[in-house]
Amino acid sequence: MAGGLPHGRARQPADLTPVKTDPRVFILANTDILAPPHVPEIRLRLASEAHDLWLKTEEELEAIGLPPPFWAFAWAGGQGLARYVLDHPDAVRGRRVLDFASGSGMVAIAAAMAGARTVIASDIDPWAETAIGLNAGLNAVTVAVRSDDAVGLDEGWDVVLAGDVFYDRAFAERLIPWLAALARRGALVLVGDPGRAYCPTDRLESLAVHAVPVTRALEDSEIKKTTVWRFVG
């Protein structure tokens, strides 16, 4: 999931001179191995409040060459969708799966654990590629990663998963016709959404509702009602 930084704290950075930062070294140094509360079967490298990553401003992140680290947090929409996939493995078992806007790779990992034939985790953030690779290794699953813009593409995926993607109007306007076209073609398109403003509920069928524990620093509450939807075109 993309959007604003999850904390909203501001500090004066000491030096904004851009530097090259090694993603693997940075991720290992600034995350802990944690189990998201709604999918405890999965382990991920996530930022915790013990790490300085929580405190960095967008300017400081830019200075070290790091886009906003959405891969470092287990967002509610992704947790709900991953839970659904683990609880309903027939949705993905033996199928070719695309996890769009994968972030940490949590939903892609759930699909691999549930028996998907192949899983591609798609995220345009190059740092997510490293995070997903590390997280897939933690869970002993195989997940391919791509960092191109997949919106508008159709490579014959049987299942398309999208966790927490309707947070921005312009982005939603790009996604809705693409996901609808995939659904009309016959793909199973599943969306996990915790009530974001631009979720097209009139185009969706509710499959499950989850109460997902989240950190208040990420959201406006400690529990987010998260719905798993099927796109009906």
Whether pLDDT at 15 is above 70 = no
Whether pLDDT at 64 is above 60 = yes
pLDDT of residue 215: 72
The CATH homologous superfamily for domain 76-231 is: Vaccinia Virus protein VP39 (3.40.50.150)
> Between these two residues, 11 and 90, which has the higher pLDDT value?
90
Rounded distance between C-alpha atoms, residue 99 and residue 144, angstroms? 10
Whether pLDDT at 44 is above 80 = yes
The pTM of the full predicted model, rounded to 2 decimals, is: 0.87
Rounded distance between C-alpha atoms, residue 108 and residue 110, angstroms? 5
Residues 105-147 pLDDT 10s = 999 999 999 999 999 999 999 899 999 999 999 999 999 999 9
Residues 75-101 pLDDT 10s = 999 999 999 999 999 999 999 999 999
Cβ contact 81:107 at 8 Å? yes
pLDDT of residue 19: 43
Amino acid code (one letter) for 12: Q
Rounded distance between C-alpha atoms, residue 89 and residue 99, angstroms? 15
- The full set of domain ranges for the chain reads 76-231
pLDDT of residue 141: 98
With CA atoms as reference, report the closest residue to 100 among 135, 152, 57.
Answer: 152
